[in-house]
Amino acid sequence: MPNSPILNAMTVDLEDWMQSTLGPDHPITSRVIPNLERFLRLLAKHDVRATFFSLGKVCEKFPILLEMVIEAGHEIASHGYGHELLYDISPERFREDLDRSIEVIERQTGTKPLGYRAPAFSLTRKSWWAGPILAQAGFKYSSSVFPIRGRRYGVPDAPRFPHKWPECDLTEFPLTTAQLLGRNLPVCGGGYFRLLPFPILRRAIRQVNGQGHPVVVYMHPYEMDVYEVADLKRQGYPISRKLQLTQSLFRSRIYPRLDRMFKEFRFGPMAEVLNIE
Ligand SMILES: [Zn+2]
């Protein structure tokens, strides 16, 4: 039984790998369905509820996805419609993409999403206009800003913990960083989550919880799919060796690692962690 009193946020970006990583012109594969099933089974095993930031066009192609997530009692939030990077599009196009994603979620679930996560954490200084637009569109929270100096994303001087967005009614829950060896490292998702030894992850969560703050862990259903990238490469899709390595190395660690993490720490959906209704 987890002993930490702090409720942390478990989040899943519900999308298909090839389409969101290789580019929007690639097909959305049905692998997303068994991958989601695996994820839901693991969450059910630990009685953990999570937030699913769901991509509009993937849910539109496979309506069973949101049905499965709702059936299992999780929170549905928005990951936009077309996975377009915010700093590459205009504020008007962003609003259209948001409205389209809300429409898909509302049609399929009967409720409006409260939360939003930008594709590839593309809410940066360059797309800072996005915060007020999210509030206007009816969102109550966002989990889109990474307080790191990344190559493609990141706002290194952004606050590290949940806070109100300036001048609008929106709470931002920044992606978790841990201070290790004098640097802010993004430990709670992506490659770091797979590559770093578990004790470092544990120490990072304890460090943030010890300061009285929740962490947010982010995952994708495809990270449970150990053979996906090699399979697609065999089928002739343009996947470089480097991409294959960075995207699939240690995917086999994800399941046992989450298993262990859920035994040691408490997790819940983001709206519950932020106390937003
Ligand atoms: Zn995404």
- The full set of domains in the chain, from first to last, is 7-274 (3.20.20.370)
Q: Which residue has the higher pLDDT, 110 or 18?
A: 110
Question: What is the CA(1)–ligand 1 centre distance, in A?
Answer: 31
Q: Does the structure show a pLDDT above 70 at 242? A: yes
Question: What is the CA(76)–ligand 1 centre distance, in A?
Answer: 15
Q: List CB contacts of 221: < 8 A, sequence separation 6 or more.
A: 12, 14, 15, 32, 35, 36, 38, 39
Average pLDDT for residues 142-156, to the nearest whole number?
91
Give the separation between CA 38 and CA 224, rounded to whole angstroms: 7
Q: Does the structure show a pLDDT above 90 at 22? A: no
Average pLDDT for residues 8-20, to the nearest whole number?
91
Give the separation between CA 112 and CA 10, rounded to whole angstroms: 20
Question: What is the CA(220)–ligand 1 centre distance, in A?
Answer: 8
Q: Mean pLDDT lowest for which of 109-118, 158-167, 192-201?
A: 192-201
pLDDT of res. 3 = 63
Write the burial class of residue 222 (CB in 10 Å: 0-12 exposed, 13-18 middle, 19+ buried): buried
pLDDT of res. 115 = 98
Give the separation between CA 10 and CA 12, rounded to whole angstroms: 7
Question: What is the CA(138)–ligand 1 centre distance, in A?
Answer: 21
Q: Which residue has the higher pLDDT, 226 or 171?
A: 171
Question: What is the CA(54)–ligand 1 centre distance, in A?
Answer: 9
With CA atoms as reference, report the closest residue to 173 among 128, 143, 211: 143
Nearest 5°: phi and psi at 41?
Answer: -65, -45
Question: What is the CA(215)–ligand 1 centre distance, in A?
Answer: 19
The distance from CA 247 to its chain's CA centroid, rounded to whole angstroms, is 16
pLDDT of res. 247 = 78
Nearest 5°: phi and psi at 7?
Answer: -90, 120
Amino acid letter for position 230: A
Pull the structure tokens for residue 249: 């190395």
With CA atoms as reference, report the closest residue to 222 among 12, 10, 17: 17
Question: What is the CA(181)–ligand 1 centre distance, in A?
Answer: 29
With CA atoms as reference, report the closest residue to 201 among 161, 260, 250, 242: 260
Question: What is the CA(166)–ligand 1 centre distance, in A?
Answer: 25
Question: What is the CA(120)–ligand 1 centre distance, in A?
Answer: 5
Give the separation between CA 265 and CA 144, rounded to whole angstroms: 23
**Mean pLDDT of the chain, nearest integer:** 92
Q: Mean pLDDT lowest for which of 30-34, 66-70, 93-97?
A: 30-34
pLDDT of res. 114 = 98
Give the separation between CA 104 and CA 74, rounded to whole angstroms: 17
Average pLDDT for residues 202-214, to the nearest whole number?
94
Residues with CB under 5 A from ligand 1 (ion): 13, 15, 20, 119
pLDDT of res. 1 = 57
Average pLDDT for residues 36-44, to the nearest whole number?
96
Q: 10 Å Cβ neighbour count for 194?
A: 18
For the chain, give the number of residues.
Answer: 277
